[in-house]
Structures are given as structure tokens and as C-alpha cells.
Structure 1
Amino acid sequence: MRKIKILTDSTCDLPKDIIEKYDIGIMPLFVVFGEENYRDGVDLQPEGLFKLVKEKGTLPKTAALSPYDCLGYFREYIDQDMDIIAITISSKISSTYQNALVAASEFPEGRIWVVDSQNITAGEGMLAIIAAKMAQEGKTPQEIVTKLEEIIPKVKVHFVIDTLEYLYKGGRCSALQNLLGTALKIRPIIGVKDGCMLVAGKTRGDKKKALNQIIDWALQDKQEIDFNQVFVISSLGGEEEAVYIKDCLSKVLVDTEIIVGLAGCVISCHCGEKTTGIIYIKK
């Protein structure tokens, strides 16, 4: 059996040490300021992203991987006689999945398996970790993809945003339209369901109430958290909030690994600074 290479895109928000540990390949999406394109995590880091936002006085756009981009990443490993499992950001949020399918069709059948994570950030990244572990165990591509498809509906993602501006202008969460008139009174909690971002809950008052709400939701699932792993991801400026969440979770989830990570540029383009979330998989 050929060696299997696990690829995912840069919206997975996995820390560098985990990417290296599991030999996961990263395909960067793009951040676009006018005519200038930046590869997420390669040409542009979050600090540089928000510096450009301030300098230019405008919010950037993001762009998916094109079929041509995917073709290049796939060919690199096919030429090494490896099979590929490529896990992408939700197809309802980005065209990366469809473009990866187009690219995969250029190679012999069965060499490239493209999986729609139906999720974002570490909700996608956790699938890549599971796939990489299974590949190391000698599982076949079919076995890995079947397992991922079983897990995908069980991934839980909730995050608290600091400002509605990025998500609303980015058009990735249309439900926010109804909250704009009360933005100063209502703080929405964003979740992911069936591949789409939605308003999973609302709190009134300061941000800590919303953070405590997503902590409570995670702890309500404490007996159901699978793989003994929880991710806490924050965008730039949310590092203290991430530590607060980790400390709260650690007091109860004593046997669970809690990994803190920083959101990349593409995710940050849509959530803004000081966004913090909890991601895990239910049994």
C-alpha cells in the first residue's frame, strides 16, 4: 500500500508543532487587499493582517484555492508515489472543496480523496489530526475517509466575536443582519451546523458572559468529548481570553488535552480581532 499524505488548508488553524508532529501538509488560502494577494500564513501573518487593515482603512477579502493551486499541491505528492487525503474548509463557506475535486479528477481514480470538513478552524484541523493518526496506523484511504464522514457531524464549534463588522461585511453569517440594530446590547455566539455559520446563542452585557456560556456548553458535554482533546482558538488580541477558557476547562476536564492556538489570516478576516472559540468532537 502506498504511503498516505494528509493535506488540509490554512483555515485549519493547527499549531505548528502539531502540523510537524503529524506531517500534515498545509495549502494556504488567500487574503486579498485590492490587487494584492497574500498566502495565508506564508506571505502574511495575523499581526501583519491587522496592521494592513489599519493602514488601508478597509477590510480585506479572502480567496479560495483554485483548481490550478490544488493541482500543484497534489502533483507534489503523487510524484512521490503517495496517495492523498485532502480535507478542506466547508464547501458552504468556500469553493476550495469543489476546486480540489476538479484538480483531483486530473489524476488516476483512487489516488486523491477530497473530504469536505463542513467546518472551519480547528473543527477542520481535528479531522486532519485523526486522518494523520489513522494513516500512521496503516489504515487505507477508504477506511480513513469513512471514519471522517462519521465524525464530521459530531464536531462542535462555538466562538465569541468582539465585533460584528468582519462577519457581517464578509457575508459568511447572514443571520447577523437581524442583530445589527441591537449590536450594543446583544453579543452573539457563533456556531457551525451543516457546514454553515449561524448564531448559536446570544448573551447580553459584557463579553465574559458569552465566554462563560461557551465554557458551560463544553462542560455540559464533558462525558461526551471524544479523543480526549479540546481546542481553544483565538484571533490576535484574544490570547488572554483563550488562557481564561483553558483554565476553566482544565479544572473539570482533568484527563483532556486542551490545546491553545491562534487563528490564521483567513479566519481572522471574517471574525476580526479578539475572537475566541472552543472546538471539540462528541462521541
Structure 2
Amino acid sequence: MTYRLIGDSCTDLDENLKRDDNVRIVPLTLEIGDYQVIDDNKFNQKDFIKRMAESKIGAKSACPSPEAFKEAMECDVDMVFVVTLSEHLSGSYQSAEIGKKLYEEEHDSKNILVLSSKSASAGQYRLMLELDALCKQGLKFEEISKRIIELRDDMKTYFVLESLDTLRKNGRLSAVKALIASALNIKPIMGAINGVIVKKDQQRGIQKALSRMVELAINEAGENSKDKIVCITHINNEERGESVAKLFRKSNRFKDVKLVNGAGVATMYAGDGGIVLAIG
């Protein structure tokens, strides 16, 4: 069966998926004050990181319009799968759902699944990897939908940030807490429960935090970890991302370990040097 995979631009992809004609990315818009940039293949990560560091106000994102998702669905295929940011982080999921309704008002019925990743970044990448594999197996829409929802619900997401400055500027962390954490070099280890961000632990220093994140992830991967893939997104720090990937590979507990650089939305959320990972 023919298919199309659609992701919003927090769906960080490897080079193979970026080149795949069956894959489309619908970009969010990123804003820092009066400055706006589209999170597409022209996004300049280093320039955006510099602008975030220099700005006294936090960066924010605007989700794609329903019409943008509808346009991505305009194709002669049997089935379409859309993966978005968690609805707790962005309006992208709701926008994609409306886009689906707009499409169905104008066209004969097509099998379309709009899926909130309950995650972001590396989690969306993991779901796209699985969708690509399932579609290439020639499975029916209903079976693919069932399997991808099961994976989404079982998948676990973790992240460690180099700096809490972005959270402070966005009003998600008080200036006092950010100052104390910075002075003590405290790095929180975060996760997600049903798409909602939660704190899992904290360590002094980035290396200890990353090692603890990997330890937590391995411990929580379950007995069937040999069937799971680890997807890691690094933000402008491939060396750090590779060091995390090596820890997972050294554990010999997983089917595969993938590493990609983040696009614009992940860069905005995780900041320079941030690491996001998902296991499923």
C-alpha cells in the first residue's frame, strides 16, 4: 500500500528519512521578540542559538496552520500518518486534527491517523522510524495504527539541558531557582509522563547528569529492551551526543542506537548542548 509520513518540525530525522519522498515535514515558526524564522531545511541552528543567548526574552514557537497540514495530506496515496509534538507542549496536534477534517471535507475518505507523540524531538523520530518500517512491510492501515499507538504508549522520553536559561526566560522557572541551580552547577534530569514534563533526578555537572539519565533509561527500559531502539537528539554538540550513544551501546541492551542533530523546535526547547532521548 502507498503511504505518506508527515511530521511537524520538532520531528528530528536522520538523513535517510530526510531524503525519503514519502516523508513530509510541516514547519513551525520560531520567534524571539520581533525576529521570526521558519523551522525548515534553511534553519540556521548556530545563528538561532546566538540570538537566544543574546535576547533578554524567551524564544517561543507558533504551530503550523491546519491548512499547512491539509496541504501535506494532498497526495495520491492509500494512507497517511501524522506525528506531532505532545499536545501539552504545542498546538501542533490540534492543528493537524483540524487539517485532517478540512481534507476530509473536500476529498473522498482516506486512511489518515494523526498521532500526538506524547513526546518531542527524539520521541517523534522514534515513531517515524517505526512507521517507515511498518509501511515498508506492506501492513494494513489498521495494523500499523495499532502497533504505532502501542509503541507510543510504551515509549519513554528523557532529557538533560546544559542551561536552564531558556526555561527562566519563558517563565517556567523562577530567576532565583535558575540562579541557584547555575551557581551550584545543578543539572536536572527530566522525563515525560503521558506527554507532560516531569523531573526525575538531578546531578551536579553535565557529565554526571548524562550518566544518570542513561542509567535511569536503561533501568526503566524493561526486560524486552533487546527489541527497542534508542533515539538521541543532540543540540549543536555531536561529541556529547556520541558519548551518550556509546553508553547505550556499551550496555548491549538495545536493538540499535540512533543519533541526530536537532532542528529548530528542539533547539529552542533544549538549548545549546541539550540532549533528548527516547526509547521504544
| TM score, norm. by length of structure 2 | 0.87
Partner of 1:231: 231
Partner of 2:38: 39
Name the amino acid aligned to 1:243.
Answer: E
1:210 partnered with 2:209? yes
Percent identity of paired positions between Structure 1 and Structure 2 = 20
Q: Note the alpha carbon deviations across 1:215-268, whole angstroms, 9 max, x for none.
A: 2123323743264421222111x3222121122222222763211111111111
Partner of 1:253: 252
Q: Indicate the larger mover: 96-105 or 253-262.
A: 253-262
For 1:42 and 1:35, the matched residues in 2 are separated by 21
For 1:143 and 1:222, the matched residues in 2 are separated by 24
Name structure 1 gaps, 5 residues minimum.
none
Q: Indicate the larger mover: 223-232 or 261-270.
A: 223-232
SS in 1 for 2:81: strand
For 2:196 and 2:85, the matched residues in 1 are separated by 11
**Superposition map of 1:1-283 within 5 A:** 3-20=2-19, 23-54=22-53, 58-75=57-74, 77=75, 80-108=76-104, 109-170=109-170, 174=172, 176-177=173-174, 179-180=177-178, 182-183=180-181, 184-185=183-184, 186-203=186-203, 205-220=204-219, 221=221, 223-225=223-225, 227-236=227-236, 238-253=237-252, 256-281=255-280
Quote how far apart the aligned CAs of 1:195 are. Answer: 0.8
For 1:170 and 1:82, the matched residues in 2 are separated by 42
SS in 1 for 2:69: helix
Name the amino acid aligned to 2:247.
Answer: C
Task: Flag the 1:9–1:243 CA change in 2: closer, same or farther, 3 A.
Answer: same
Quote how far apart the aligned CAs of 1:45 are. Answer: 2.6
Mapped contact 2:57–2:169 kept (Cα < 8 A): no
| TM score, norm. by length of structure 1 | 0.86
Alpha-carbon RMSD across the aligned residues, in angstroms, is 2.4
The number of aligned residues is: 272
Mapped contact 2:230–2:254 kept (Cα < 8 A): no
SS in 2 for 1:105: helix
Quote how far apart the aligned CAs of 1:62 are. Answer: 1.0
Name the amino acid aligned to 1:103.
Answer: G
Name the amino acid aligned to 2:81.
Answer: I
For 2:188 and 2:240, the matched residues in 1 are separated by 16
Quote how far apart the aligned CAs of 1:152 are. Answer: 1.4
For 1:136 and 1:229, the matched residues in 2 are separated by 18
Q: Indicate the larger mover: 226-235 or 241-250.
A: 226-235
For 1:226 and 1:120, the matched residues in 2 are separated by 23
For 2:83 and 2:25, the matched residues in 1 are separated by 10
Name the amino acid aligned to 1:92.
Answer: H
Mapped contact 2:70–2:103 kept (Cα < 8 A): no
SS in 1 for 2:90: coil
Mapped contact 1:84–1:111 kept (Cα < 8 A): yes
Name the amino acid aligned to 1:86.
Answer: V
Question: Following TM superposition, where does structure 1 have runs of at least 4 consecutive aligned residues deviating by more than 6 angstroms?
Answer: none
Name the amino acid aligned to 2:190.
Answer: I
